[in-house]
Amino acid sequence: MTLRIPFFGLLASRSPMDGLVEHYDKIAECIATIDESLECYVSGGVCREFEELTRTIDEIENHADVIKRNIRNHLPKGLFMPVEKSLFLNYTKSQDNILDSAQDALYWLAMRKVLIPESIQKDIIYLLDAVSRTTVLLGPALNATISLIHGQSLDRDGTKATYRKVRAERDNVRKLKNALNKKLYAMDIDFKDIYQIMHFVDCLDDMGHNTENCADHLRAMIAR
């Protein structure tokens, strides 16, 4: 078993784990941007221009990519990493995938105007709310993990509980997505509309899936 340095902050001015928080903050910005207009779009109201919205998401995602590259380009060597490098890189990839899926979701919705049937409007909004809650729950899980790894906290059980909350909300996302797809298949609407809505829904589900992956990687980081 490889020896790790528990008090990384004593040896380096900035832990690479702190960069993950900076990158995570971009997910919160992304969700807030989607929330701003999606409910309006789904219900057929007058919304902020979707082209403007997708540009905003692109800017957030590009900024997140810069943060990710900066983290990866300045990783400490070998034993001076606070966790296994492969775990760290896998976590970074999963967290970045959340942003990529959010970007894809808006692209699918902005591809052409779709009149969302009233019978599934609430289902889509509830799904987005559940995805948002899942990603929000990742923040405390990440911070608790970093505190534990840096020796600032000894609450291992409390940290594990934050992972379980992410998984529970992810399970809710999965159920909402399956129920929504079942409704979509049963609807008598243009196939192009069904196809476009389903890809949008799949992208939201991917955000939940990648958030759960992040929690799994965090769990592996503190495994004994």
Instruction: Express each pLDDT in 166-184 by its tens digit.
Output: 999 999 999 999 999 999 9
Least confident of 7-11, 126-130, 145-149, 219-223: 7-11
**pTM of the complete model:** 0.87
How much is the pLDDT for 12?
52
Whichever domain contains 201, its CATH number is 1.20.58.220
Is residue 50 a part of any domain in this protein?
yes
Residue with tokens 């789904």: 42
78 secondary structure, DSSP code: G
Q: In angstroms, rounded to a whole number, what is the distance separating the alpha carbons of residues 144 and 150?
A: 10
Higher pLDDT, 11 or 208: 208
Residue type, 18: D
Report pLDDT for 33: 80
Q: How confident is the model at residue 1 (pLDDT cuts 50, 70, 90)?
A: very low
Task: Please indicate, yes or no, if residue 25 is contained in any of the structural domains.
Answer: yes
Start-to-end C-alpha separation, the chain: 10
Record the tokens describing residue 146, joined without a space.
Answer: 């970093």
Q: How many domains does the chain have?
A: 1
Domain extent for 207: 16-222
Range with the largest mean pLDDT of 17-21, 43-47, 159-163: 159-163
Of 154, 180, 163, 172, whose CA–CA distance to 208 is shortest? 172
Q: Looking at the domain assignment, is residue 59 inside a domain?
A: yes
pLDDT for the residue numbered 32 = 80
Closest to 21 in 3D by CA, of 145, 129, 168: 145
Pick 217 or 49 by higher pLDDT: 217
Residue-wise pLDDT for 103-125, tens only, equals 898 888 888 888 889 999 999 98
In a domain, 9, yes or no: no
Q: In the prediction, which pLDDT does 10 show?
A: 47
Is residue 188 domain-resident? yes
Does residue 48 have a pLDDT over 50? yes
pLDDT of residue 161: 98
Per residue in 145-169, pLDDT (tens digit) is: 999 998 898 999 999 999 999 999 9
Residue 164 included in any domain = yes
* pLDDT tens string 49-101: 677 777 888 898 888 889 888 888 888 776 667 788 889 999 999 999 999 99
Residue 8 lies in a domain: no
